[in-house]
Amino acid sequence: MGSGTTLVEAKLLGRNAVGIDINPQSVSISETNLQFQCETQSKIFTRKGNATDLNFIKDSRIDFICTHPPYANIIRYSKGIDGDISLLDVDSFLNEMYKVAKECYRVLKKGKMCAVMIGDVRKYGKVIPLGFRMMECFLQAGFMNKEIIIKEQHNCLSTDYWKEQNRNFLLLAHEYIFIFQK
Ligand SMILES: C[S@@+](CC[C@H](N)C(=O)[O-])C[C@H]1O[C@@H](n2cnc3c(N)ncnc32)[C@H](O)[C@@H]1O
């Protein structure tokens, strides 16, 4: 859920939706952001939970999944919440994302889509292709690749800082939106 962007869009589109986040603060921010009137009718649920275990949803019930996980530990979303995958190094993060992918596959109806947004990371001067490594988790979980969308990134916090530096690398200025199909 993060701050609830996806749920806000679902509400505007009149789609029923359930949003999950491990961080109770995210749940309350999302609930605040959802307090607006609109012409469409929908049922929106928020829930504190771990995306690696969606046991409150039966198999093959969901029409569409839209998820935006942390980019490993590039931004830490909490100071130590158990299950928060933004606290994990790349390999542990990918282990957890494989569990997320399997749960996504289980709850989605056959033929339906799962959209995942993620970016690559740079550590110690090297690019770690986190996007493609995470894509493999979803393929191993059983999904097919329907689309790979490159999304340009604008106004990154660090861009101005790096522009001033005498650097010998390119700034990462894109993210991926993978569209997987069950
Ligand atoms: C990149 S943010 C999502 C931002 C969101 N797209 C928005 O517009 O606000 C990633 C979120 O994943 C959450 N998160 C981390 N580990 C999780 C887990 N195991 N299960 C569910 N959510 C988790 C974090 O608390 C954070 O809110």
Distance (angstroms) between ligand 1 centre and the Cα of 22 equals 7
Q: Is 30 in the pocket of ligand 1 (CB under 6 A)?
A: no
Class of the domain covering 51-181: alpha beta
Backbone φ and ψ of 93, nearest 5°: -60, -45
Residue 125, pLDDT > 90, answer: no
For ligand 1, is residue 181 a contact (CB within 6 Å)? no
Specify the residue with its C-alpha closest to ligand 1, atom 4. 2
Burial class (CB in 10 A: 0-12, 13-18, 19+), 163: exposed
45-81 residue pLDDT tens:
999 999 999 999 999 999 999 999 999 999 999 999 9
**pLDDT tier at 109 (50, 70, 90 boundaries)?**
very high
pLDDT at 49: 98
Burial environment of residue 93 by CB neighbours within 10 A (0 to 12, 13 to 18, 19 or more): buried
Find the 32 Cα to ligand 1 centroid distance in Å. Answer: 17
Domain positions in the chain are 1-49, 51-181
Percent of the chain past pLDDT 90, that is, above it, reads 86
CA–centroid distance, 1 to ligand 1, in Å, is: 6
